[in-house]
Amino acid sequence: MRALNRGHPLGFALVGALLASPLAAQDDREAQALEVVVEAVEAAMAEDRAKQNAEEAVEGTRDVQLPPPPPAIQLSPPPPAILPMSLPPEGPRKSTNPKPIGGQYNWFRGAVLPADLYLQEAQGAVRYEIAVDADGKATSCSVAESSGFPGLDDFTCTTAMKVAEFEPALDAEGNAIAGTFTDRHYWRYRKQELDSFSVTVSAIVRSDGTVLNCRVLNEEGALPKNFPGDKPCAGMAAGGPWRDANGEPKDRVVTFTLAVESEAPPEPLVIKRETPAD
């Protein structure tokens, strides 16, 4: 007969029954029946031990301190996708007008008015048109809007035709064609104000740089408009007071004369321009 675990309640009950009826244990059939009962008790006891072990395992995990989860990684959003730029379809090409080379304002830079226009004090805006052939050459000039001085209008076209150069006009297919350039130029009358004159000015410059008793001693001819007649000594002590040989500032009476002479040369001027060496 198999040994029976007496620690289980069923084991205590069966042992008591066997001790109370010793004669029954001698019967083989009763012995077999008892063997079956013992096996059932042991199976129940094994099941109880398994449950107890499982409960102890769960209870042990409750006391275990798990480490905190790692911090979440903040991922920056990806940059926006750069889509290829699609250019609008090219439209039909347009024809262009002639283009001046170097700028049309340079045509009139330094131009000197003829004597008759100078005496008329001619000035004003001239709107002109220049015909340009397919090679970019100016062929003719006409006045579209007068300045009010016919001679000034003609002088405008004459001056432009001497120096004007162009890129030719183009048609829609890019071929050079004849065209017309139109622009406006404004002439301002200018008179030379600087003529022969002289002026003598005197003042006292103190050792502290103060200018006193400024006066004009002598004046001949017509002074230019930009001459400071009301303050002829302005800037006289701009460099500080006058000093002696030892560097000490001293009072001084300062007198200066400004003179301009304008006269005709003794003979006509002949200007020779040297040709640059190759």
Average pLDDT rounded to a whole number, residues 109-115? 92
Q: Helix 28-62 to helix 9-20 angle, to the nearest 10 degrees?
A: 160
Answer yes or no: are the C-beta atoms of 14 and 4 closer than 8 Å: yes
Average pLDDT rounded to a whole number, residues 47-73? 70
Percent of the chain with pLDDT over 90: 37
219-244 pLDDT, tens digit each:
887 777 777 877 888 887 778 888 98
Q: Which of 6-15, 45-54, 73-82 has the lowest mean pLDDT?
A: 6-15
Percent of the chain with pLDDT over 70: 74
180-221 pLDDT, tens digit each:
999 999 999 988 767 788 889 999 999 998 898 888 888 887
Handedness of CA 105, 111, 116, 120 (dihedral sign): positive
- Give the pLDDT band of residue 261 (cuts 50, 70, 90): confident
Residue in 256, 250, 251 with CA at minimum distance from that of residue 233? 256
pTM value > 0.85: no
First CA to last CA across the chain, in angstroms?
A: 138
Q: Domain residue spans in the chain?
A: 9-56, 99-187, 197-260
Token pair of 265 as six digits: 């040369």
Indicate the length of the chain as a whole number: 278
- So what's the pLDDT on residue 132? 97
Amino acid identity for residue 269 in this structure: L
Query: E-assigned strands of 68-178?
Result: 99-100, 124-132, 138-145, 166-167, 169-170, 176-177
Q: Does domain 99-187 have CATH number 3.30.1150?
A: yes
- So what's the pLDDT on residue 79? 78
